[in-house]
Amino acid sequence: MLEPNTTAPEFTLPDQNGNLVSLSDFRGQKVILYFYPKDNTSGCTTQACAYRDQYPEFVKKGVKVIGISKDTVRSHANFEKKYDLPFTLLADPDRSVLQAYDVLKEKTMYGKKVMGTIRTTYLIDENGRIEKAFEKVKPEQDSTILLEQLD
């Protein structure tokens, strides 16, 4: 996991509509980058819907919410539509940003060792520096914890 008070790695990825989005596009405002394993899985859906439900609070605080996974643009578009998600989802199928943010780790699934995304959330400040970092977050608590960090 990347440490607080370090510069967040710059990236450019396509969003759920195929538009390229860079971290630097959001200089001057806080950004929540949450990394999750896979669209339409139970934990990831719970996490996304919690951010959706609390999204008006993030907007009031001037904070941009961005979800990133290895899924494709098409998968993100379907996920956004199915759950009416009001925030940006970025596709990282080559996993370069997942690696840059140190969220791609070996884990055990069904008794096998695989490389997978560790559910991690970063709060990035207006200058592009990591303000807070949360590893192995619980899907149902992540958005609430982040809102509390903004007070």
- Residues designated as active site: 44
- Nearest 5°: the CA angle 123, 125, 129 is 90
Q: Helix-strand-coil percent breakdown of the chain, rounded to 5? A: 30, 30, 40
3-state SS, residue 18: coil
Task: Return d(Cα 112, Cα 95) in angstroms, integer.
Answer: 20
Task: Return d(Cα 64, Cα 50) in angstroms, integer.
Answer: 15
Task: Return d(Cα 59, Cα 32) in angstroms, integer.
Answer: 12
